[in-house]
Amino acid sequence: MEQNKSSNVVWHHATVTRERREALNGHRSVMLWFTGLSGAGKSTLAHAVEEHLYQNGCRTFTFDGDNVRHGLCSNLGFSDEDRVENIRRVGEMAKLFLEAGVIALTAFISPFRSDREKVRSLVPHGEFLEIYCRCTLEICEERDVKGLYKRARAGEIKNFTGISSPYEEPEDPELVVDTGGLSLQDSVTKVVELLHERGVIGQGEH
């Protein structure tokens, strides 16, 4: 673990705690980590789940892989080292949103198991829910919404996950959603059911 380079700093304990924020919001905060290949439907599912939760009065925020690289991670490329740092930053940011009492949804390829496990270790047990958007490479390539697979196959994009860079499937995720076969609504339902089971939201929020 890297040593903190900030010296002479002391953690300030606030009077408005996470528990008080959660009580005000009427639900628990949790980190939903959507992972899968490019084109697997991570962002689509995360935003659809967020819309459902918002309609039911939940406080939410979605961190989208592409959007984050326009700001927080705009100085990072796609080397293995930069991918690791990208996920580290997102994990730390999402952790802050948990402290704010918010349901934090993240949609990132996050290809390496070790990186996902590092984010899991940032929060208490049960507060990191890994959701594997399972979709075959063939289907993702057929979709190729952004035209990235075609460019990767042509050698125009280096370090492209699934083509020239590996994707390590989750070994024991909290939820597997077959985004290659399920409808979007059925996929949303599976995620919402998980939140009910874990006591994040009440039974009235469905």
Per-residue pLDDT tens digits of the chain, which is 206 residues long: 455 566 665 555 678 888 999 998 999 999 999 999 999 999 999 999 999 999 999 999 998 866 665 556 667 777 778 878 888 888 898 999 999 999 999 999 999 999 999 999 999 999 999 999 999 999 999 998 889 889 999 989 888 898 888 999 999 999 999 999 999 999 999 999 999 999 999 865 55
List Cβ neighbours of 172 (8 Å cut-off, separation of 6 or more): none
Q: Regarding the domain delimited by 18-197, which CATH topology (the fold level of the hierarchy) does it fall under?
A: Rossmann fold (3.40.50)
The question of whether 7 is a catalytic residue gets the answer: no
Q: What is the pLDDT, as a whole number, of residue 122?
A: 92
Domain parsing of the chain, residue ranges: 18-197
Out of 29, 110, 165, 187, the active site residue is 110
Question: Starting from the edge strand earliest in sequence, which strands make up the sheet with 175-177, in order?
Answer: 60-64, 103-107, 31-35, 128-133, 175-177
Q: What is the pLDDT, as a whole number, of residue 70?
A: 54
In whole angstroms, what is the distance from residue 139 CA to residue 141 CA? 5
In whole angstroms, what is the distance from residue 105 CA to residue 152 CA? 28
Model confidence, pTM: 0.86
